[in-house]
Amino acid sequence: MSAGKKDRSLRKIALDFLARREHSEQELRQKLGARDYDGAALETLLQQLKDERLQSDERFTESYVNHRFNTGIGPLKIRYELRQKGISALLVDSFLEPLTDEWERMMRQQRVRKFGETLPADNGARMKQARFLQNRGFSPESVMRLFR
């Protein structure tokens, strides 16, 4: 296959990925890099996609935060997942900060949905609920505030 055709097919594959959902630059680099393409061609393509605004870490982060927030995942877990996907801490914070007032409410909703309205009286049940909420990405401090 000629270099031009190979580059076009690389672009087509990248656009197929982006048509399904937003991807971070790092995700695209990993997925396309696994396909045995020239590294320089891959980097050129990634830059072109960013220049054409077809790939945007900002759009990806906004979409990811909204999706995870709506599924009841807390800020610590979202932050960790985004960092694993190559998103800068500054960019992550810019999308998590506006939701600051919502986390406590959402945490309470998650607890009620899983365990019911009444707060547990015994320490064992309280710890079970606390572990559940911490595993969903809520800070130990906010979880303990919920039980006070």
Which range marks the domain in which residue 126 is found? 102-147
- Same domain for 11 and 44, yes or no, is yes
Q: Based on the fold, state whether residues 48 and 64 are members of the same structural domain.
A: no
Asked if residue 28 and residue 7 are part of one domain, the reply reads: yes
Identify whether residues 76 and 88 lie together within a single domain.
yes
Residues 10, 50, single domain; the answer is yes
| Phi-psi domain of 24 (left: phi exceeds 0; alpha: psi -120 through 50; beta: other) | beta
Q: What CATH number does residue 64 fall under?
A: 1.10.10
| Predicted TM-score of the model (pTM) | 0.87
- The answer to whether residues 130 and 109 belong to one domain is yes
Mean pLDDT of 130-145: 96
Split into its structural domains, the chain has a count of 3
Please check whether residue 130 is in contact with residue 144, taking contact to mean a CB–CB distance below 8 angstroms.
yes
Digit-coded pLDDT (tens) for 52-92 = 999 999 999 999 999 999 999 999 999 999 999 999 999 99
Q: Supply 131's token pair.
A: 């572990």
